[in-house]
Amino acid sequence: MSVSSIGAQSQLAIQQLTQMRAQFDDLQRQLSTGQKSSTYAGLGIDRGVTVSLNARLSAIGAFDNTIDNVMTRINLMNTALGNMTDITSTVKNAMVQANGVSGGSSGAAVAQQTAQSSLDELLGLLNTQAGDRYLFSGRATDQPAVETLDHILNGDGTRAGLKQLIAERNQADLGADGLGRLVISSPTPTSVSLAEDSISPFGFKLASITTNVTGATVFAPSGTPASMGVDFSAVPNPGETVTMRFNLPDGTSQNLTLTATTNSPPGANEFTIGAGPTETASNFQTALRGAIGKLASTSLTAASAVAASNDFFSADANNPPQRVGGSPPFYAATGMVAGTAANTVIWYTGETGTDPARSTATAQIDPSLSVSYGARANEDAIRTLVQNVATLAAVTISPSDPNGVALSSALDQRLTVNLGAPGTQTITDIEMDLATAQTSLQAAKTRHQQTSSTLNDFLQQISGVSNEDVGAQLLTLQTRMQASMQVTAMLFQTSLVNYLK
């Protein structure tokens, strides 16, 4: 029985050694990983809490990844918008120099070249990508936001570009005789009449006429089509004037004042006083025809280009551009017709919608918080910039044009005003919207860092170990194992022969 008991004790000692070895290996794992257990089951009743804490930390990590991606996109958008602001300043300076420092038609050519290069850069900025995502296409993130420079200005063969729309509108506004669709006549020997040639949106529109000429009578615009005029019943005095006001296609208006003079030939915007009312009326009609022709080739031409540009850039896939109706040449056109995507370039190729542009891209950055950071290239501020730069690039002013300087001045004046029109959206407004989104992103990330730190501390208390405690346990266990191995060895050396001795 005693010998049998010794064998049983040997087997028990081996089993204990095996258990201690397993415990020793587990303590070494804890020391290297800092975790109590490699499985949730090993945590006992705390396993449910640990699962919940890890799930929350994983969710926070996912939100932080989203924040990083969105922050990168917004940074790229802000860079593009900042460059757009610089382009605005560059183009404005070029127009100032065209009519100031440089002067003349050569200055206009330099301004046009600046506009073309600026437009090319601007379109590239609007097609900015973050990865495979176009940032200014609204919800259509897989397609470019805008057409190419060449297509926008020149079309693509089957579809008309901006230059063609400007040329068609210019024909319709100036008319065959270049008088802005006005008919100048002399109903009586002493009177001169101005009349619109048709009921149409084209050319000059008569607004008013006033005079301080002695004995003269003016007739305010009336009738359909409208007409107005002046009747000379006496000889004017030098310096007396007749002032006419015209409405232009782009919504602006222009005054034309003719001054009586004794000079012959008269100067610009002057008419020679005749020997009597009849001769004076004839001289006035001649001067009026020349002044109207010059006004048509300058202010009206500039206004016509702006109006055509408005039609071109206000269009999108759901709103085709308006074009001059009829067949070329369009000198006698009387109305506009809707173009189509098949015959006219649609400059904005992104997603269209009536909802705010910012809402076209949203990101969930917290369980109860999302941010909106979308943008469309046809937003008012961006469209206005593209439109005015493109208009400057599209209107070619010939160096041999005697009215080139005045045309350049009239065009630049309108574009400068449009680029800084008060009460409209600006590039800065878009940047402020994105800055608000950035603030929310940064605040959420800060909260996540604080929450993660708290959760990790709690998780460490549950599943973590103290290296000092584990080290002490290892030393204790090692001592026990050495003692057990010595005892076990002694037991295995015991035999019946040794026992009988």
Domain spans, the chain: 2-34+471-500, 56-134+364-464, 147-347
Average pLDDT over residues 239-256: 98
pLDDT above 90 (res 420) = no
Two tokens, residue 372: 């909106």
- Cβ atoms within 10 Å of 292's Cβ, excluding its own: 22
pLDDT for position 470: 53
55 near 78, Cβ under 8 Å? Answer: no
Q: How confident is the model at residue 1 (pLDDT cuts 50, 70, 90)?
A: very low
* Cα dihedral 301, 303, 309, 314 in deg (nearest 10): -160
CATH of the structural domain 56-134+364-464, one choice from 3.40.50.620, 3.30.750.24, 1.20.1330.10, 2.60.40.290: 1.20.1330.10
pLDDT on residue 8:
63
d(CA 404, CA 410): 10
Residue 463, pLDDT score = 57
Q: Mean pLDDT over residues 58-79, rounded?
A: 96
d(CA 442, CA 67): 8
pLDDT at position 24 is 67
pLDDT > 70? residue 386: yes
Burial class of residue 2 in the structure, from the number of CB atoms within 10 Å of its CB (0-12 exposed, 13-18 middle, 19+ buried): exposed
More confident residue, 93 or 497: 93
Confidence category of residue 98, pLDDT binned at 50, 70, 90: confident
Q: Is the pLDDT of residue 490 over 70?
A: no
The lowest-confidence range among 191-205, 453-467, 484-498 is: 484-498
Q: Which residue has the higher pLDDT, 476 or 316?
A: 316
Asked which of 101-115, 329-343, 466-480 is least confident by mean pLDDT, the reply is 466-480
The per-residue pLDDT for range 18-59, each reduced to its tens digit, is 766 766 665 566 565 656 555 555 555 656 666 777 788 899
Among 482, 466, 488, CA closest to 21: 482
Q: pLDDT digit string (tens) for 132-172?
A: 999 999 999 999 999 999 999 999 989 999 999 999 999 99
Residue 453 CA to chain centroid, in angstroms?
A: 39
Beta bridge partners of 227: 195, 222
Mean of per-residue pLDDT scores for the chain: 88
Tell me what percent of the residues of the chain surpass a pLDDT of 90.
71
Mean pLDDT, range 417-443, rounded to an integer: 93
Q: Which phi and psi angles does 26 have, rounded to 5°?
A: -65, -40
Assess whether pLDDT exceeds 90 at residue 350: yes
Q: pTM of the full predicted structure?
A: 0.84
For residue 262, the tally of other CB atoms under 10 A from its CB is 10
Taking residues 340-369, report their average pLDDT: 95
How far apart (Å, rounded) are the C-alpha atoms in residues 483 and 461?
34
Please check the confidence at residue 238 and state whether its pLDDT lies above 60: yes
How long a stretch of residues is the chain?
501
Annotate 201-223 with b (16+ C-beta within 10 A) or e (fewer): bbbbbbbebebebeebebbebee
Check residue 423 and give its pLDDT.
78
What is the rounded average pLDDT of the residues 248-272? Answer: 97
CB 397 within 8 A of CB 95: no
Axis crossing angle, helix 427-463 with helix 47-98, rounded to the nearest 10: 160
The dihedral over CA atoms of 332, 336, 340, 343, expressed in degrees to the nearest 10, equals 20
For residue 403, count other CB atoms closer than 10 A to its CB: 18
pLDDT at 487 over 50: yes
Residue owning tokens 């926008």: 152
| Side chain identity at residue 95, one-letter code | M
**Spatial CB neighbours of 334, under 8 Å, sequence gap ≥ 6:** 198, 199, 200, 202, 325, 326
Spatial CB neighbours of 238, under 8 Å, sequence gap ≥ 6: 260, 261, 262, 273
| pLDDT for res 52 | 79
Residues 50 and 462: their CA atoms lie apart, in Å, by 7
> Radius of gyration (Cα) for the chain, nearest Å?
43
**Tokens standing for residue 495:** 């035999």
The CA distance from 304 to 291, in Å, is: 18
* Between 107 and 336, residue with greater pLDDT: 336
Predicted local confidence at residue 489, as pLDDT: 65
What pLDDT is stored for residue 226 in this prediction? 98
Angle (CA) 61-63-66 rounded to 5° is: 115
Alpha-carbon distance values, 254 to 166, 245, 298 (Å):
20, 6, 11
Q: Which sign, positive or negative, has the C-alpha torsion 150, 156, 157, 158?
A: negative
Q: What is the dihedral of CA 429, 435, 440, 442, to 10 degrees?
A: 180
Q: For the residues 92-114, what does the mean pLDDT come to? A: 79
pLDDT for the residue 102: 46
Return the closest-CA partner of residue 108 out of 357, 459, 494, 395. 395
